[in-house]
Amino acid sequence: EPEVTQTPSHQVTQMGQEVILRCVPISNHLYFYWYRQILGQKVEFLVSFYNNEISEKSEIFDDQFSVERPDGSNFTLKIRSTKLEDSAMYFCASVRGVASTDTQYFGPGTRLTVL
Amino acid sequence: AQKITQTQPGMFVQEKEAVTLDCTYDTSDPSYGLFWYKQPSSGEMIFLIYQGSYDQQNATEGRYSLNFQKARKSANLVISASQLGDSAMYFCAMRGPYSSASKIIFGSGTRLSIRP
């Protein structure tokens, strides 16, 4: 069964460094998302992406963050100048389309630890 | 604005018993989708079940069923014959109108623990 994959599974970085989180959505999906979950808290929406551009972003997704689909398969989240509070689990998700039965499928997540 | 409320932070259930996890939602959109996801201790987010706002029947997927009461804006998850492997965090979530592949909004979750 097709699945969303994410790499790395765990990333440790120093405060102020840049990190790139990578995702490979399900191949026939058209809409892509990043969410984040701070430890012990609920999952929060960051950004949605369709047709090579951002379709919606949350207040969390400020100039520190950027997304890109550099080729036909990868979908990346870049966090510039990381802060301690960026430590969280980051989930990528994708969905095929906008039919009522289309479900967002989540990747296994990347746990980001900022020291 | 859309909102999801899960009022049970934690639940303990005996193995093989049925369990109901509560979820209420608020939205002014006539079309929306409701989801339940399971998050085990390993951290991944596993899709369990989906209910569309116009669906006439309650959704079922194996041991999972969704008790959808539209007038009361509730979408409770029922797990029949619970198993030890059901111990996890459970999130109720909502997506906006069908016309857009919009973001999903999550509730705060319920931690379910199954006792042997």
How many C-beta neighbours within 10 Å does residue B67 have?
A: 16
Q: What is the pLDDT of residues A4-29, one digit of tens each?
A: 999 999 999 999 999 999 999 999 89
In a mutagenesis test of the A interface, which of B42, B45, B98 is the best target, namely the one with the most A β-carbons within 10 Å?
Answer: B45
| More confidently predicted of A1 and A113 | A113
Residue B6: closest C-alpha in chain A? A42
Q: What is the pLDDT of residues A27-77, one digit of tens each?
A: 989 999 999 999 888 899 999 999 899 988 999 999 999 999 988 789 999
- Type and span of the H or E element at A63: none
B56 token code pair: 């006439």
Task: State the Cα–Cα distance between residues A24 and A33, nearest whole angstrom.
Answer: 11
Q: Looking at beta carbons, which residues of chain A come within 8 Å of B44?
A: 106-109
Which pLDDT score, from 0 to 100, does residue A43 have? 94
- Residue of A42, A102, A105 with shortest CB distance to B106: A42
Does the bond joining B30 to the residue before it have cis omega, within 30 degrees of 0? no
Q: What is the pLDDT of residues B56-111, one digit of tens each?
A: 899 999 999 999 999 999 999 999 999 999 999 999 999 876 555 678 899 999 99
